[in-house]
Amino acid sequence: MDTSDVTQANLMTVVAQAQKLGQVSRSLTVVVVSDDPGFLAAFTWWSRKSHLLVWSTKLLILTRLSAHRLHHLRNTLAMTNSMLLLFMYTSALRCDILVEFPYSPERTYSVRIASWTAKSGLTWLTQHSMFPEKADKFSHSPILSVAHLRVGTAQTMEVADPTAPGGKRLVIVSPEAMLVETIANDMNFTYQYTTPYDLAAGTRQANGSWTGIIGMLQKEEADFGQILLQVTAPRTEVVDFTAPVTIWYTRIIIRIGSSEVDPWGFLLPFRPLVWGGILMGLIEVLGSLVLMTSLTLREGVKQSRWLTNASSCLRVLLRQDVVKSTDWWWWERVVLGVWMLAMLVLFLSYAGNLTSLLAIRYIPMSIQSLEDIVASPVTALFPAASSVLEAFVTAENGPMRDVGNLQLKERLKLVLPRDFMMKLDSHDKFETWVHILIGKEAAIDLFLNNSFLDMTS
């Protein structure tokens, strides 16, 4: 095997191991010592491709090469948390600490923030510290490209801008756009919006590349994205996320059916447990009467008294009158009175609940879980190239895997965010379907324009 191939294989292995270490560590410092420009170029290329050089990872390059021979590393050094240590031998050993700041003009030089010699020690030349924060405020007011995707209730418009391509600039009215505007003013940069060709957040392809906004960031076609994206493990391998700003829930949206009255509504006021409790109460009352009758009455009248007591309890349960007997014992009157009081409360509660249920129509909801989607002959609509779709189609087992398998039965359809409302209007009103989406704004947008029921999954 060629020596260069061995070196490249070893380099890929080291970068992969460092990436795993960075995933379990909050702070990782990578130190590279080399005087080979080709090796440094290969290392930085593999590091960026594998997403090793996230901002939490510090990169320190030690070399005896001159700064102009490392010109091909400027972009990597500028966009990562990196520093360059240049060792030079003149009359004595000297080390310069250089930092490349992002979006600097092409002809500018790296900033020398400190210098070290054996005689004078470390001398600070600027107000910057070791591994300075490069994104506090840009000094050259760059124009950044912002990837965006219209979702939910966000509104877009075009305004005249002589500096923008075509003389017009896209303006987005949404909380996220206001946040970008605030950051731009504070960090001293301007921006222009750009939209992915597939109008999607992005999914990973078989070759490892990504589509949508994630793909634009991966290919460096945009500087950052202005959209609320769900943080997933595959996405963190190619892009950096800010701190979470909100919590989203996956929702099942179904079209509202027609209201109706349930003919079996008289069974609704009480659950089976309540009906079972009534039966158990009747058995306990009858058991108490039988036990006390067996202990107090003589053998000849026990059987007739048992039948009389059982008849009286059943008549109370059925709201019938009770025949008064002069030979009742006092304990028989107490037990029967308590039973009457309990049945009176039960009757009034049942009558009130039944009147409410029969007077108010209700909307049946046949789908209340992912299992219901699989069991019912419905078509599931998913937002195309979204994290929620990826979660379902990549699930290994369980209800999510079963829903993802509906794609094989042609019961799973993909809809672009911009075409979603049009897709709903095109569906026949007799067709049974559900829509599974993530995010609160999108659900609100549906409620304002259509009649839907929302169930958080």
The total domain count for the chain is 4
User: In whole angstroms, how large is the CA radius of gyration of the chain?
Assistant: 37
> What is the model's pLDDT at position 450?
40
Residue 448 in any domain: the answer is yes
How far apart CA 308 and CA 306 sit, in angstroms, is 5
* Per-residue pLDDT tens over the stretch 159-207: 777 766 667 767 777 777 888 888 888 888 888 888 888 877 888 888 8
How far apart CA 247 and CA 84 sit, in angstroms, is 40
| Shared domain check, 51 and 22 | yes
| Shared domain check, 150 and 94 | no
CA dihedral for 338, 339, 340, 345, sign (positive or negative): positive
| Shared domain check, 374 and 354 | no
Residue 381 has pLDDT above 70, yes or no: yes
* Per-residue pLDDT tens over the stretch 267-312: 666 677 777 877 887 787 777 777 777 766 656 556 666 677 777 7
Residue 380 in any domain: the answer is yes
Domain boundary among 124, 159, 177: 124
H, E, C per residue of 230-269? CCCHHHHCCCCCCCCCCCCCEEEEEECCCCECCCCHHHCC
The residue range of the domain holding 306 is: 265-359
> What is the model's pLDDT at position 454?
38
| Shared domain check, 402 and 350 | no
Mean pLDDT of the chain: 76
| Shared domain check, 422 and 339 | no
388-422 CB burial, b ≥16 within 10 A, e <16: bbbbbbeeeeebbebbbebbeeebbeebebeebee
> What is the model's pLDDT at position 343?
80
How far apart CA 221 and CA 212 sit, in angstroms, is 11
Q: Both tokens of residue 164?
A: 């923008």
Q: Is 57 exposed, middle or buried (0-12, 13-18, 19+ CB in 10 A)?
A: buried
Residue 95 in any domain: the answer is yes
Q: Both tokens of residue 148?
A: 């965006």
pLDDT band at 257 (very low <50, low <70, confident <90, very high): low
| Shared domain check, 102 and 202 | no
Tell me the whole-structure pTM to 2 decimals.
Answer: 0.59
| Shared domain check, 36 and 119 | yes
Least confident of 48-52, 62-66, 189-193: 48-52
Residue 248 has pLDDT above 80, yes or no: no
Residue 258 in any domain: the answer is no
pLDDT band at 444 (very low <50, low <70, confident <90, very high): very low
CATH number for 171:
3.40.190.10
How far apart CA 413 and CA 70 sit, in angstroms, is 50
| Shared domain check, 399 and 444 | yes
Q: Both tokens of residue 66?
A: 């001159």
Q: Both tokens of residue 235?
A: 């996405």
| Shared domain check, 390 and 288 | no
Residue 116 in any domain: the answer is yes
Mean pLDDT of 236-247: 80
Provide long-range contacts, Cβ within 8 A and 24+ apart, for 90-96.
Answer: 92/117, 92/118, 92/119, 93/117, 93/118
Domain boundary among 244, 274, 295: 244
How far apart CA 223 and CA 192 sit, in angstroms, is 10
Residue 162 in any domain: the answer is yes
The SS3 of residue 192 is strand
> What is the model's pLDDT at position 449?
40
Q: Look-up: residue for tokens 């997403």?
A: 51
Domain boundary among 317, 333, 359: 359
Residue 253 in any domain: the answer is no
| Shared domain check, 168 and 239 | yes
- Give 111's strand partners: 99
How far apart CA 231 and CA 151 sit, in angstroms, is 17
| Shared domain check, 192 and 220 | yes
* Per-residue pLDDT tens over the stretch 125-135: 888 888 888 87
| Shared domain check, 109 and 30 | yes
Residue 130 in any domain: the answer is no
| 184 sits in which H/E element | helix 175-187
